[in-house]
């Protein structure tokens, strides 16, 4: 029904949608957890803040599972490089996001002891802060390139080390990601709580939005004038079988801006990141902050979309062996696999969206400290 070129493009866009879905849904969980010590000043307030995310965090993590599954099935080369080369960061992400945070929610109220509850509150805080930074750190390394290569038989070799992940641009991306999630989480808290938690949440959300605008602008400046981007110089056949070795790739200053130069309409994507954050600042106190939450979500879509637009057609460049860089056109699964997955997505994604919408509707309203989940 679809040729391999169109299927690859569809799955590249679907991967972006899944990442945006995760950042918008589970992103406010991470933001709320990161704000916990700052917006809650007593036991009642801490319980109220935690009750805003307890009913939703498990369902929200479905998006990252879908995203990882999509990478595994649709982009096996990308999965192999990302989950082996960044093994320690992925492990730390799973430890905080998938283990310590869920345990803290379950164990916190098992004992009335103050030290016990404060201990698990700090675990919740770390379980929100660390993943929020790690997602940006990983994105920064994807942009600058992973150190990997394939031999002639397509065996993967990773050429980097753990310290390589911590360079100035990746740290900048980590800080940007943290500000993005804190902005989003603060607005979510403003929707779900009353004063004084609401006022504190809006204050920190606005501060985070201001820093997000600044850091996002600095990141764009770095991509345009300070960081070498990647460019394919050889002819690529989007209909060919996947093989990441048959191409010539060069690095060039400002190459990550090429798509914007060739298609100026794409500037709408980063502008959405800026505009969403600006509108979040000015609409945070409007009504129940619902419109500000929409603006914050649009900012997330703009920031993540900017990474995808800048990279395309690259999906994971190689900094050590340029020709091993993975493109949308040469690192996917077969047409049959992509087609089967596409039909599965068409069936199950609306079910997931409907279920999620129903949960948010049923459990809507302001959170109260005395509620139990």
Query: What digits encode the pLDDT tens for the residues 77-111?
Result: 999 999 888 989 999 998 998 888 888 888 888 88
pLDDT of 123 higher than 50? yes
Task: Say how far apart CA 324 and CA 207 lie, in whole Å.
Answer: 41
> Tell me, what DSSP letter sits at residue 78?
H
Return the pLDDT at 372.
45
Quickly count: other Cβ atoms within 10 Å of residue 338's Cβ.
Answer: 21
Residue 228: phi and psi, rounded to 5, are: -70, 130
pLDDT of 62 higher than 90? no
Q: Is the pTM of this model over 0.85?
A: yes
Strands (E), the chain: 148-150, 156-158, 228-232, 249-253, 314-316, 326-327
Strands 148-150 and 156-158: antiparallel
Lowest mean pLDDT among 41-45, 57-61, 68-72, 84-88: 57-61
pLDDT band with cut points at 50, 70 and 90 for residue 370: low
pLDDT band with cut points at 50, 70 and 90 for residue 153: confident
Task: Say how far apart CA 358 and CA 360 lie, in whole Å.
Answer: 5
pLDDT of 373 higher than 80? no
More confident residue, 289 or 182: 182
pLDDT band with cut points at 50, 70 and 90 for residue 349: confident
The percent of residues in the chain predicted with pLDDT above 70, rounded, is 98
């Amino acid at each position: 029904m679809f040729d391999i070129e169109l299927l690859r493009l569809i799955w590249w866009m679907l991967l972006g949608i899944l990442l945006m879905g995760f950042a918008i849904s589970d992103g406010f969980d991470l933001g709320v957890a990161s704000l916990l010590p700052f917006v809650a000043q007593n036991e009642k307030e801490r319980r109220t803040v935690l009750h805003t995310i307890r009913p939703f965090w498990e369902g929200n993590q479905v998006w990252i599972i879908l995203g990882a599954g999509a990478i595994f099935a649709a982009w096996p080369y990308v999965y192999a490089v990302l989950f082996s080369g960044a093994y320690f960061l992925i492990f730390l992400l799973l430890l905080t996001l998938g283990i310590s945070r869920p345990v803290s929610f379950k164990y916190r109220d098992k004992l009335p002891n103050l030290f016990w509850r404060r201990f698990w509150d700090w675990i919740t805080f770390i379980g929100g802060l660390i993943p929020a930074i790690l997602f940006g750190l990983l994105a920064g390394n994807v942009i600058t390139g992973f150190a990997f290569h394939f031999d002639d038989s397509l065996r993967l070799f990773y050429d980097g080390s753990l310290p390589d992940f911590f360079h100035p641009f990746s740290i900048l991306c980590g800080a940007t990601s943290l500000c993005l999630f804190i902005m989003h989480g603060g607005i979510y808290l403003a929707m779900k709580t009353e004063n004084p938690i609401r006022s504190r949440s809006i204050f920190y959300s606005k501060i985070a939005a201001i820093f997000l605008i600044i850091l996002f602008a600095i990141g764009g400046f770095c991509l345009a004038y300070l960081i070498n981007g990647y460019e394919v110089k050889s002819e690529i056949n989007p209909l060919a079988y996947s093989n990441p070795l048959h191409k010539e790739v060069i690095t060039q200053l400002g190459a990550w801006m090429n798509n914007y130069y060739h298609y100026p309409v794409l500037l709408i994507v980063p502008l959405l990141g800026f505009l969403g954050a600006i509108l979040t600042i000015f609409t945070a106190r409007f009504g129940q902050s619902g419109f500000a939450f929409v603006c914050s979500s649009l900012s997330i879509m703009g920031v993540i979309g900017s990474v995808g637009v800048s990279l395309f057609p690259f999906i994971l460049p190689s900094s050590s062996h340029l020709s091993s860089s993975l493109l949308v056109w040469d690192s996917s699964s077969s047409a049959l696999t992509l087609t089967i997955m596409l039909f599965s997505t068409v069936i199950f994604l609306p079910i997931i969206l409907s279920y999620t919408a129903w949960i948010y509707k049923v459990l809507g309203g302001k959170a109260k400290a005395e509620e139990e989940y």
